[in-house]
Amino acid sequence: MSAPLVAGFIPLVDAAPLVIAREIGFAEEEGLALELRPAASWATLRDMVSLGQVEAAHMLAPVPVAMALGLGGGGARLDVLQVLSVNGNAIGVSTALADIMREAGHPFDFADPVAAGQALLAAKPEGLRIGVPFPFSGHAELLYHWLGALGAAVPQALSVHTVPPPLMAQALAAGEVEAFCVGAPWGTLAVESGAGELLLPGTAIRRFSPEKVLAARHDWAEAEPELAGRLMRAIWRANRWLGQGQNLTTASEILARKPYLDTPAELIERALSGKLIVTQKGEMRTVPRYVTFFEGAATFPWRSTGALIADRIAARTGLDRPAARAEGARVFRSDLYRQHLARTTADMPGASERIEGALTEDTPVASPSGRLTLPADSFFDGFIFDPSGEE
């Protein structure tokens, strides 16, 4: 008899590890009857998992960290059990702003973050209104980092608003926001609706940026190690399956179905393979490592990732940064990951913390198999973050 377990998700392409764990049978292999329940907003999904309506959830990486810092939502503490996806976002601007930038000579090369950021800030010197899916999101973190590094006073000079991705095109058209950062396929859809153009892939700002995570209540993960372990292994195998390029067509077909994204499979496959429509003329660009599920220990919950997110949020909100870094690191449960995936072939990095942003190229690192390569994860401006607090 399989053990029942309910997990929540937002219908997005990066919910794929949960969907595949169920549909390809990895959950069943682990003796789990995995039920997936969709939610319409991140706030609702956060409440569902923290109030115990679901055991685990697809979540924006910064949400559990923000909760640990006492920001947003007051329910039970959430832990990050593993990373579900890396990268996958794109930045765009309204058609009106694109025209101003083009007139000022910006080539819309979809590549140079310095030129694009300067052109963007120059086009709207009196303050830019930017839409992101959630106040605590990889999207917001990328934007703050990018424009802050280019000299914008962060956060006060930017007006960052929450706009659910399905409503982004409408918010652009209504002039509520002039720029946005969203995941696939919403950027492309904003372009196709005529409301905007894409300016940069998220990877132009940071080359390897953890995006969605598997979150669970801290108390549940501690009290139910057996169930948590089964879930983590099933999802890790789904991530490995998704990391094989030949499976992306099948994955797209499955995700396209009604209980999941209910979106044409072709659109999903384009997103999974990093093909983005960037202009209204239909120009397509391929972004390497656009949505990454497995390569380079992508699923490993680095404590330093939690510390970095916490440090940035604390800096913006005036909290004590060293204390926040320690809280953030605690949220990312590399200890549970090591424990529960020990029975798999998952290659574990030797350390659980690293200097975030330090790798300017793909780099082999110490691991039991000796074959682990961590992908380049540098920021465009050379920023590095040492979780021990040295700056």
CB 49 within 8 A of CB 215: yes
Quick check: 219 binds another protein (CB under 8 A)?
no
Q: How far is the CB of 41 from another protein (least distance, A)?
A: 4
Tell me, residue by residue from 260 to 299, as one string, x for binding to another protein by CB under 8 A and - for no binding.
----------------------------------------
> Which residue spans within the chain are E strands per DSSP?
3-9, 32-38, 56-60, 78-86, 89-94, 128-132, 158-162, 179-183, 196-201, 210-217, 275-277, 284-286, 363-364, 373-374
Give 30 or 141: the residue with its C-beta nearer to another protein: 141
Between residues 134 and 146, which has the closer beta carbon with respect to another protein?
134
Q: Quote the least distance from Cβ 1 to another protein, whole Å.
A: 17
Q: Is 73 near another protein (CB under 8 A)?
A: yes
Q: Among 317, 344, 345, 360, which residue sits at the site for another protein (rule: CB under 8 A)?
A: 317
Name the nearest CA neighbour of 253 among 11, 17, 20: 20
User: Of 74 and 350, which has the nearer Cβ to another protein?
Assistant: 74
In the list 48, 93, 268, 276, the residue contacting another protein (rule: CB under 8 A) is 48
Q: Which of 135, 148, 183, 306 binds another protein (CB under 8 A)?
A: 135
Asked if residue 181 binds another protein (CB under 8 A), the reply is no
205/207 Cα distance (integer angstroms): 7
| Contact flag: residue 163 with another protein (CB under 8 A) | yes
Write the DSSP symbol of residue 204.
G
For residue 263, which of 251, 274, 250, 252 has the smallest C-alpha distance? 252
- Which segment (35-43, 141-149, 198-206, 375-383) binds another protein by CB under 8 A? 35-43
Among 43, 121, 157, 326, binds another protein (CB under 8 A): 43
Q: Hey, is 378 helix, strand or coil?
A: coil
Q: HSE of 223 in the Cβ direction (CA atoms, 13 Å)?
A: 6
Check if the beta carbon of residue 112 is closer than 8 Å to that of residue 204.
yes
Task: Compare residues 42 and 293 and give the one whose CB is closer to another protein.
Answer: 42
Task: Please state the closest distance from residue 51 (CB atom) to another protein, in A.
Answer: 5
Report d(CA 298, CA 305) in Å as an integer.
12
Cβ atoms of 200 and 113 closer than 8 Å: yes
Per DSSP, 1 falls in state -
| Minimum CB distance to another protein smaller for 71 or for 115 | 71
Q: Which residues bind another protein (CB under 8 A)?
A: 39-44, 47-48, 50-53, 71-75, 133-135, 161-164, 166-167, 170-171, 174, 176, 317
